[in-house]
């Protein structure tokens, strides 16, 4: 049975989820751009999504031969933060509806990385999002936004998002910690059960008389060594056979 925190499985799942989300976002944003008077720079948006696809495929290949899953997790989180920031900027910055992707990355970070990284990811998301909004507000980079809030309102938006990101980091980190505790308990329970099964097997096999157990359907489920010798059949020959045929 796999651990619920098998990093390789989580990374493989993350790549698949990323591709699904990218495809969904591409379709939605292109539909909005076609049906409305959106200032979305379509070519730039498509280029950024294709770049994200390229990174996703790169991580698929990387996962197949590189065993440093913790480093891969960190790389994927940082890459996603950078690309989400790019997409948020292209889709309007303060007007963008895609800043919900930041909390998703924070949640992923809480699952794949130590709990402190949840807060670091939240802080990085705040810095990147705030930087985009500030740069477009002061005209340092071109703005694709249709609204232009006052500086005070803009800063309020930035800090509201900061508190939201920190709240997500706290809750996601708490949940991930609880799940890890459950995972450890399951491992201990599974180990104890395996030990108990081994003791039971040793007792059965050490009995000098022949012993056969069957299921409710009358088919053999266990036969000890003495029973195999008495019947002159191997365990493989006996298991699953109807007991009345002996």
**How is the chain split into domains, by residue range?**
7-174, 209-246
Query: What pLDDT score was predicted for residue 2?
Result: 44
CA distances from 161 to 56, 125, 174, 232 (A): 27, 9, 20, 75
Compute the C-alpha angle 47/100/168, nearest 5°: 135
pLDDT exceeds 80 at position 227? no
**What's the mean pLDDT in 220-242?**
78
Q: Where are the beta strands (DSSP E) in 122-234?
A: 212-214, 220-223
pLDDT category, 10, cuts 50, 70, 90?
Answer: confident
SS (H, E, C) 76-141: HHHHHHHHHHHHHHHCCHHHCCHHHHHHHHHHHHHHHCCCHHHHHHHHHHHHHHHHHHHHHHCCCC
Convert the pLDDT of each residue in 45-75 to its tens digit: 899 999 999 999 999 899 888 888 889 999 9
User: Distance (Å, rounded) from C-alpha 204 to C-alpha 210?
Assistant: 10
Average confidence score pLDDT of the chain: 84
How many Cβ atoms from other residues are within 10 Å of residue 170's Cβ?
A: 16
Considering the entire predicted model, what is its pTM?
A: 0.73
Query: What pLDDT score was predicted for residue 3?
Result: 45
Q: What are the structure tokens assigned to 194, written together?
A: 């395996």
Query: Which residue, 212, 242, 241, is CA-closest to 224?
Result: 212
Check: CB of residue 219 under 8 Å from CB of residue 241: yes
Q: How far is CA 227 from the centre of its chain?
A: 49
The β-bridge partners of 242 are 219
User: Distance (Å, rounded) from C-alpha 103 to C-alpha 119?
Assistant: 11
């Amino acid at each position: 049975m796999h651990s619920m925190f098998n990093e390789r499985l989580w990374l493989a799942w993350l790549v698949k989820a990323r591709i699904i989300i990218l495809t969904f976002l591409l379709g939605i944003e292109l539909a909005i751009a076609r049906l409305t008077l959106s200032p979305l720079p379509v070519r730039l948006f498509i280029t950024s999504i294709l770049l994200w696809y390229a990174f996703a495929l790169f991580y698929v290949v990387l996962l197949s031969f590189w065993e440093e899953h913790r480093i891969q997790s960190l790389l994927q989180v940082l890459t996603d933060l950078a690309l989400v920031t790019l997409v948020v900027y292209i889709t309007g910055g303060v007007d963008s509806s895609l800043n919900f992707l930041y909390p998703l990355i924070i949640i992923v970070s809480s699952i794949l990385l130590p709990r402190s990284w949840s807060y670091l990811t939240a802080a990085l998301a705040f810095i990147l999002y705030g930087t985009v909004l500030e740069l477009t507000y002061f005209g340092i980079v071109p703005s694709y936004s249709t609204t232009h809030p006052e500086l005070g309102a803009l800063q309020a938006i930035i800090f509201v998002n900061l508190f939201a990101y920190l709240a997500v980091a706290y809750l996601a980190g708490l949940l991930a910690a609880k799940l890890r505790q459950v995972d450890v308990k399951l491992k201990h329970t599974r180990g104890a059960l395996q030990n108990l099964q081994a003791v039971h097997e040793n007792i059965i096999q050490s009995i000098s008389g022949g012993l056969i157990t069957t299921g409710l359907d009358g088919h053999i489920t266990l036969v000890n060594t003495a029973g195999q010798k008495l019947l002159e059949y191997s365990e493989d020959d006996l298991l699953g056979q109807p007991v009345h045929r002996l």
